[in-house]
Structure 1
Amino acid sequence: MPLFGSFRIGRWFGFPIRIDYSWFPIAALVIWTFTTREFPRALPFYPSSTYLAMGTAAALLFFLSVLLHELGHALAGRARGVEVEHITLFIFGGIAQARDEARRPLDEFVLTAAGPLASLALAAAFHGGRVAAEAWAAPAPAVTVLGFLALLNFVLAVFNMIPGFPLDGGRIFRSIVWAVTGDLVKATRWATQGGRLFGGALIVLGLFNLSRGQFISGVWAAFIGWFVVNAASSSLRHFELRTLLRRIPVATVMNPRPRMIEAEMPVERAISDYFLRGREEAYPVARDGDLVGVVEAQAVSAVRKDARATTPVAAVTRPAEEFPVARPDESLAEALFRIRVRVSYLLVIENGFVVGALDPREVSARVQRLQRAGLVSLDEKPPAARGAASGEDLGPPPAKSA
């Protein structure tokens, strides 16, 4: 659930680690709170430089703790057969982004519980470190930081166990409702309502604290409450969209038999006969009936006007291997998962032939039309796919895959 975009910083245990840009202002705020309020209150009469060092160290170790919390989810998910794409640290905590939902309630329960258990283990480790530091007469700032981190990880575990989606407690609650009712959609809606109620309660608490002149605690509570309410709503929308996409076969929304451009056709003619007359932003390119790649609108537009009449389309065609491939009978969720940056086109292949194409930008509108027509919903089974899924004859394929 990225907020403002993110960048990759490395890989742990095979999982890419990313940081959302929203992490930086909250990191600065956390360091400021530790440095100017928490540590001076817990350990008075030390110089400002000491509090700054304590606040910076505590903030970095706390965010490392959040990362380890998410690694707990990711490793448990891997053990239960749930593929995790990456881990992202963002404005309030982090997220282990799974490719899909867990297949069974028990899988959901185990991979979710692993996060709070990791935080409890970290709380115990930091507490043990504080006890050992005291026994060895370590400097008071070090002892204070270790004790503070033990408390923070304990609070993180307890806070995450509140039964409101998308918090860990909400996901555990969802897994229990799912196991009892057998309905993941209903379980998600119930858990989301819990998240909204909890977030609303935090907002009310924050406003109450503000009315009493407790500015910092009031702002924090209200801001976290607002974040939880919005996260619950956006997580529900994301879940419902993924559920719908899993129930719609590619054949239902693909462009069947896409128009092919010959590799030796001049770019000028491709622009006039294809890109200006059609809605597509990309077309398959064939040579002697065999697929050689895909040409995109931005590629032909980049060719100089005085060279378009003599430049063949093949010169600006990207190889077919750079584009993801889907089957007509697989779900949209599976197909769209393969799309990455700078890929705006997905070829649909059956028995080695191109039978369709999928433009990700058109998927949302087509899914909405299916919903309005009553052909697909969250409470119904998916329609049968055309082609391989239903046995419908698609006719002779227009081009063979290379």
Structure 2
Amino acid sequence: MLPLFGSFRIGRWFGFPIRIDYSWFPVAALVIWTFSTREFPRALPFYPSSAYLAMGTAAALLFFLSVLLHELGHALAGRMRGVTVEHITLFIFGGIAQARDEPRRPLDEFLLTAAGPLTSLALAGLFHAARLAAEAWYASPPVITVLGFLALLNFVLAVFNMIPGFPLDGGRIFRSIVWAVTGDLLRATRWATRGGRLFGAALIALGLFNLSRGQFISGLWAAFIGWFVVNAAASSLRHFELRHLMRQIPVAAVMSPRPCAIEAGLSVERAISDFFLRGRQEAYPVERDGGLIGVVDVRAVSEVPANLRAGTPVSAVTRPAEEFPVAQPDESLVDALFRARAGASSLLVIRDGFVVGALDPREVVTRVRRMQRLGLVSPDQVAAPEGPDGEGVRTPPAKSA
């Protein structure tokens, strides 16, 4: 599942970049409002509204920190099992540890998934112990109430995530079990996704029922969470199928043919007008006497002052091809696109020192979907990266479009 509305980075923990999706902010405000106007006034009456606001803000921030620690548990377990986690993102209703690829064995998925709920249970125990200590030390009632509330929230988070519906943790654990039994990761994912859709539909029905009884807040929350789970399950399945399709498709199947090359002696001004403004690529090979000398991209030419572009040759701003992310024609799209996400808007495809094509990440999904409609590839051809015994599962190679 991917972030919803874009995100920004706030730091790094244990080597994992931490990001916040923009969808997190309205939900954070709604959570603070719910805590401050409903939960804490009901649990601890006769306090001023400023006290409830402080309690609600502290509880919300500590709860989101708990969600972050939950995802960090996934990420650390994934690192131990050889799964590369690119970043952790907080977003609407929770967070996600975004892995580069699926786990290679059912046991890997089981362990890295179980780490999240176990982390939440541990946090529930810590907050409960802190609450008991606060009571023993005669701390103020608001502090005791917030600590007890956080213990309950983390326990509920662990239990809720164990519901066997994908993409919840329970759904992923269920998927790992089905995968271990059947040896088919695609089938296991589809079964777990059905569970997620059924659970989301049940939440929507419960929310509508509560709304009909006049329970506006609880009904709205249940319906909204149910809608989110249904859509997240469908989105996760589509993303899974697409990624596994791309693992089987070589770069050569979807790359553009040999792109136009820029002569090293051409001026930057001409390169901008004749190539960067007219073509779709953001990087071009640079040749001298028919031989590749490097790559020039849109950032390099844009940094040349406008009054110097007519007299500056492209060779002056050309980078060696070795410094530019490139793709090999026989590697999988998944590996190539990972490098594109790491800092390149487009990739040149090079074989034996010659540019044989270009790969534009913005067009890859469209071309893969076209191959799927033409019957050249199918998710049903895609097996797990490794079977339960650890051996790779062979699948038919994708045909070139």
Instruction: Give percent identity, aligned residues only.
Output: 80
2:110 & 2:95 partners in 1: Cα distance? 18
Cα distance, 1:275 vs structure 2? 5.8
Is the partner of 1:338 in helix, strand or coil? helix
Distance (whole Å) between structure 2 residues aligned to residue 27 and residue 275 of structure 1: 43
Deviation at 1:295, TM superposition (A): 3.5
- Give TM-score scaled by structure 1 length: 0.89
Per the TM alignment, residue 354 of structure 1 is displaced from its structure 2 partner at its CA by 3.0
* Superposition pairs of residues 172-251 of structure 1, within 5 angstroms: 172-251=173-252
Matched, 1:293 2:307: no
Alignment partners' CA distance in 2, 1:45 and 1:269: 74
How far apart in 1 are the matches of 2:36 and 2:18?
A: 27
On the 8 A contact 1:248/1:382 being kept in 2, the answer is: no
Deviations 1:20-42 (A, max 9, x none): 11111111111111111111111
> Are the structure 2 counterparts of residues 191 and 293 from structure 1 closer, same or farther at C-alpha, using a change threshold of 3 Å?
same
Contact residue 348 and residue 356 of structure 1 kept, 8 A = yes
Change (3 A) 1:27 1:297: closer
Q: CA RMSD in A?
A: 2.4
1:73 aligns to what? 74
Where structure 1 has 5 or more consecutive residues not aligned to the other structure, the ranges are 387-402
Write the mapping of 1:313-392 to structure 2, written as runs, cut at 5 A.
313-315=314-316, 317=318, 320=321, 323-340=324-341, 343-380=344-381, 381-383=395-397
Could you tell me whether the CA contact under 8 Å between 1:328 and 1:385 is conserved in 2?
Answer: no
Give the whole-Å Cα distance in 2 for the aligned partners of 1:176 and 1:211: 39
Offset, 1:238: 0.8
SS of 1:11's partner is strand
TM-score normalised by structure 2 residue count: 0.89
Q: Write out aligned runs for 1:1-400 (5 A).
A: 1-267=2-268, 270=271, 274=275, 280-288=281-289, 289-296=291-298, 299=301, 310-315=311-316, 317=318, 320=321, 323-340=324-341, 343-380=344-381, 381-383=395-397
Q: Distance in 2 between matches of 1:117 and 1:100?
A: 23
Checking the alignment, whether the CA contact within 8 Å between 1:300 and 1:316 is kept in structure 2 is no
Local SS of the residue matching 1:46: coil
Cα shift at 1:257 = 3.4
Deviation sequence 1:270-321 (CA, Å, 0-9, x none): 46765677654542112341332134499479985x9765443335545545
Is the CA contact (8 Å cut-off) linking 1:329 and 1:385 kept in structure 2?
no
Q: CA deviation digits over 1:254-283, x for unaligned, max 9?
A: 234333211112356546765677654542
Q: What per-residue deviation string (whole Å, max 9, x for no partner) do you get for residues 75-101 of structure 1?
A: 000000000000000111100000000
Code of the residue aligned with 1:33 in structure 2: it is T
Aligned partners of 1:250 and 1:385 also within 8 Å: no
Write the letter of the residue equivalent to 2:296: V
Counterparts of 1:268 and 1:55, CA distance in 2 = 58
Decide which moves more: 322-331 or 172-181. 322-331
- Indicate conservation of the 8 Å contact 2:376/2:398, yes or no: no
Structure 1 SS opposite 2:379: coil
Inter-partner Cα distance in structure 2 for 1:148 and 1:350: 60
Give the superposition deviation at 1:139. Answer: 1.1
Deviation for aligned residue 1:203:
0.7
- CA deviation digits over 1:338-363, x for unaligned, max 9? 11376322122334443332122222
- Looking at structure 2, the residues matched to 340 and 318 of structure 1 have their Cα atoms a distance apart, in angstroms, of 19
The alignment of Structure 1 onto Structure 2 pairs a total of residues equal to 385
Question: Which consecutive aligned stretches of 4+ in structure 1 deviate over 6 angstroms post-superposition?
Answer: 300-303
Counterparts of 2:73 and 2:342, CA distance in 1? 28
Deviates further, 43-52 or 94-103: 43-52
> Given that residues 40 and 46 in structure 1 are in contact (C-alpha distance below 8 angstroms), is that contact kept between their aligned partners in structure 2?
yes
Tell me how far apart the structure 1 counterparts of residues 178 and 378 of structure 2 sit (CA, whole Å). 21
